[in-house]
């Protein structure tokens, strides 16, 4: 035992924890980043040399490094229920009336809090130490992501206080600060510039902070999580025999214990003041470092909460007001058209830049010709733009009072903007298509990009820039041409040296081992997506059986309707496609399934079809799908006339439920499904 080393580790840990608290809780920088990094590096080195002295709450745990094979499911001691939502002041008044009635006119107060747009988390502390961090999951049980949460600097690893309960839970929201989100995407852009020069596949930027936070907290490598710089706001305290009479007292205790509590929560004595708080923060929220989408109004007194109780899904003493999507006027500068892999021509509105939901919007989708006609768009119109779900911009209307007298109507193009071919529109469809699929450059290139994508052939070394360069040199016209490329041809491209050339050739060679379902999906047959390709490969076993199948025979396969069957037959009848298959066979690709024995547990579900919606207490979604198939049933992707049962879990999709009800499909619970197989 070396008391000097042990003491040094303890002192360093306390010092670094102090600086972390000052920086992340009190917004004070007492030392420079360089000095802080030196202290942390010194502590890491000491702990590496003397692991027996490392403390449970060591700040080195913030760096991560644990790699999990999977996340263990843990049942919540206190269920994590969802809140009922509203978008109107009238429904807030109705909520208040229900509260008053339930409390039999007792005086009461509310606490108003921001509704954070992140990932709900339950933090469990025992004897002051963080022992578990569990995601919401289905409300009854969630994933143990403790190793990842330990990397979040705004989550205390150990709490020291005189009034500390032996066991308590803290509920909060993990989020990715906008600054971190922008930084990560900037780094991805820099990486993509380098990858493009090397001819490698580019990375996809993060879509939005909420999705990024959700994906990050479920990463298996906590070292990667640490680099993302997640943060956490907490909003509730749970436990047995806690000494706090009100929610306000709980928040004050959490703040005293060095948790990150929002400074501008407000206690109000009536619903009118709560509505005023909501109005105050509607635009002010964009000044915050994270995304928010509403305000939570909850009773302050905990005894009164117990008096009101819960419904099966949510507490009766709280409600979430969600802000409506922000809608702003701007000028329509032009309309351009994009040609996709299937030839679909999509109009895009180019806008005078406008700030919307905290970001600058320059473009918005117009979907199709029908949408342009519905909006009655004219050149230079003042249009109203909204972020659907605060993510995807769309035009919702036109201010015709500001239209110039001589403004010309926007007319959807009649010919392909890329190859000048006359566009066609199939009966019953809203989309116009360019039929020149073998000669239209963007269709050819995007088909190849689809083929090399991760879910198809997964040729990571071939990116969009490489496809573009090979196409321009006339080395690439079909996906079969990939397997004819030589090292000399690849080296003729800008930026390709020996290593990058070898990587590209290796990636192409490795793609020959991708299973039949991936090859089928990669071919880009219209209406044959990832799921349909898997069903077809499983049913027909090889490409020859599929190629000679009639429309009627194709419809015997699961989820294959007349439209998909007609598209498949037409594709295989085309002489060029037949030649393509022959060349790919010659290249050595996999065109037959490798059957693995299926586990059969019973025949209770033979001849029955199912769709799954929502989350479940006893099963994961994939586990439930496997069970259905193991008992002889089939799982469909959507509600249709072929469906027998919709298995509805917690938060089942409302559109699926509605479709099932209209179609007369039986809607069964998790318990009813269990009874079917038992």
Q: Which residue has the higher pLDDT, 602 or 571?
A: 571
248 closest CA partner among 259, 261, 239: 261
Write out pLDDT tens, residues 361-411.
889 989 899 999 999 999 999 999 987 644 568 898 999 999 999 999 999
- The chain-wide mean pLDDT, for the chain, equals 87
Report the alpha-carbon distance of residue 95 to residue 86 in Å, rounded.
10
Q: Is the pLDDT of residue 163 over 70?
A: yes
> Taking the complete model, does pTM exceed 0.75, yes or no?
no
Token couple for 171: 């509920």
Residue with the two structure tokens 């498949």: 568
User: Cβ-count burial of 407 within 10 angstroms (0-12 exposed, 13-18 middle, 19+ buried)?
Assistant: middle
State mean pLDDT over 51-78.
Answer: 70
Q: Is the pLDDT of residue 347 over 60?
A: yes
Residue 674 designated active-site: no
Q: Is the pLDDT of residue 14 over 90?
A: no
Beta bridge partners, 86, equal 321
Handedness of CA 539, 542, 547, 548 (dihedral sign): negative
Q: Which residue has the higher pLDDT, 115 or 56?
A: 115
Pair 59, 13: CB distance under 8 Å: yes
Q: Is the pLDDT of residue 27 over 70?
A: no
**Domains of the chain, with CATH numbers?**
3-63 (1.10.287.610), 75-322 (3.30.470.30), 325-436 (2.40.50.140), 441-513 (1.10.150.20), 516-587 (1.10.150.20), 609-677 (3.40.50.10190)
Other CB atoms within 10 A of residue 337 CB:
17
User: Model confidence at 172, in pLDDT bands (50, 70, 90)?
Assistant: very high
pLDDT at position 26? 58
Catalytic residue among 8, 38, 115, 465: 115
Report the alpha-carbon distance of residue 247 to residue 243 in Å, rounded.
11
Report the alpha-carbon distance of residue 479 to residue 446 in Å, rounded.
11
Strands (E) across 26-160 are located at: 73-75, 85-86, 110-116, 119-126, 129-135, 141-143
Strands (E) across 479-588 are located at: none
Write out pLDDT tens, residues 459-516.
978 888 889 999 999 999 999 999 999 999 999 988 888 888 998 999 999 999 999 9
pLDDT at position 372? 92
123 closest CA partner among 248, 235, 250: 235
Token couple for 127: 């004897």
pLDDT at position 64? 47
Report the alpha-carbon distance of residue 485 to residue 503 in Å, rounded.
13
Q: Is the pLDDT of residue 77 over 80?
A: yes
pLDDT at position 28? 62
pLDDT at position 1? 47
Report the alpha-carbon distance of residue 112 to residue 273 in Å, rounded.
9
Q: How far is CA 489 from CA 17, 494, 677, in A?
A: 57, 11, 59
Write out pLDDT tens, residues 545-555.
999 999 999 98
């Amino acid at each position: 035992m070396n008391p000097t080393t042990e003491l040094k580790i303890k002192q360093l840990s306390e010092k670094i924890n102090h600086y972390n608290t000052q920086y992340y809780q009190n917004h004070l920088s007492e030392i420079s980043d360089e000095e802080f990094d030196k202290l942390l590096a010194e502590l890491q080195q000491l702990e590496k040399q003397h692991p027996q002295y490392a403390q449970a709450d060591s700040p080195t745990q913030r760096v991560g490094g644990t790699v999990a094979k999977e996340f263990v499911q843990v049942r919540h001691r206190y269920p994590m229920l969802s809140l009922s939502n509203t978008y109107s002041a009238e429904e807030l008044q109705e909520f208040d009336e229900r509260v008053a009635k339930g409390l039999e006119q007792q005086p009461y107060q509310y606490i108003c809090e921001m509704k954070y747009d992140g990932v709900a988390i339950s933090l469990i502390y025992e004897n002051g130490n963080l022992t578990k961090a569990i995601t919401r999951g289905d409300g009854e049980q969630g994933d143990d992501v403790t190793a990842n949460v330990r990397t979040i600097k705004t989550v205390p690893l150990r709490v020291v206080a005189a009034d500390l309960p032996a066991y308590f839970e803290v509920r909060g929201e993990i989020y990715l600060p906008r600054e971190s989100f922008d930084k990560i995407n900037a780094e991805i852009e820099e990486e993509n510039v380098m990858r493009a020069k090397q001819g490698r596949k580019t990375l996809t930027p993060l879509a939005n902070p909420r999705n990024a936070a959700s994906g990050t907290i479920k990463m298996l490598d906590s070292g990667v999580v640490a680099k993302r710089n997640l943060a956490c706001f907490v909003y509730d305290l749970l436990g047995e025999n806690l000494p706090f009479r009100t929610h306000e007292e709980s928040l004050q205790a959490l703040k005293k214990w060095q948790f990150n509590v929002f400074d501008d929560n407000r206690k109000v004595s009536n619903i009118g003041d709560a509505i005023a708080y909501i109005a105050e923060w509607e635009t002010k929220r964009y000044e915050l470092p994270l995304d928010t989408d509403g305000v939570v109004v909850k009773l302050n007194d905990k005894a009164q909460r117990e008096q009101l109780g819960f419904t099966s899904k949510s507490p009766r003493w709280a409600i979430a007001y969600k802000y409506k999507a922000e809608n702003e006027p701007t000028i329509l500068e032009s309309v351009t058209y994009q040609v996709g892999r299937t030839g679909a021509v999509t109009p895009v509105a180019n806008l005078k830049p406008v700030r919307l939901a905290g970001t600058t919007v320059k473009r918005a989708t117009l979907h199709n010709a029908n949408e342009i006609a519905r909006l009655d768009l004219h050149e230079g119109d003042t249009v109203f733009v909204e972020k659907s779900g605060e993510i995807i911009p769309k035009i919702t209307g036109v201010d015709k009072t500001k239209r110039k007298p001589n403004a010309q109507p926007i007319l959807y193009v009649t010919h392909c903007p890329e190859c000048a071919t006359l566009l066609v529109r199939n009966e019953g469809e809203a989309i116009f298509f360019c039929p020149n699929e073998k000669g239209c450059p963007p269709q050819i290139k995007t088909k190849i990009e689809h083929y090399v994508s991760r879910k198809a052939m997964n040729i990571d070394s071939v990116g969009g820039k490489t496809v573009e360069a090979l196409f321009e040199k006339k080395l690439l016209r079909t996906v079969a041409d990939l397997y004819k490329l030589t090292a000399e041809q690849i080296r003729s491209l800008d930026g390709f040296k020996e290593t990058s050339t070898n990587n590209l050739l290796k990636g192409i060679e490795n793609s020959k081992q991708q299973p039949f379902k991936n090859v089928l999906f990669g071919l880009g047959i219209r209406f044959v997506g990832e799921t349909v390709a898997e069903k077809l490969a499983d049913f027909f076993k090889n490409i020859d059986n599929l190629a000679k199948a009639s429309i009627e025979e194709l419809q015997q396969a699961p989820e294959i309707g007349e439209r998909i069957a007609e598209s498949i037959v037409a594709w295989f009848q085309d002489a060029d496609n037949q030649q393509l298959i022959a060349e790919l066979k010659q290249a050595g690709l996999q065109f037959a399934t490798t059957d693995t024995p299926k586990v059969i547990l019973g025949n209770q579900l033979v001849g029955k079809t199912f769709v799954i919606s929502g989350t479940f207490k006893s099963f994961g979604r994939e586990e439930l799908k496997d069970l259905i198939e193991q008992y002889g049933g089939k799982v469909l992707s959507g509600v249709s006339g072929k469906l027998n049962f919709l298995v509805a879990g917690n938060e089942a999709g409302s559109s699926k439920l509605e479709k099932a009800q209209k179609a007369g499909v039986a809607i069964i619970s998790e318990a009813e499904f269990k009874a079917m197989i038992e």
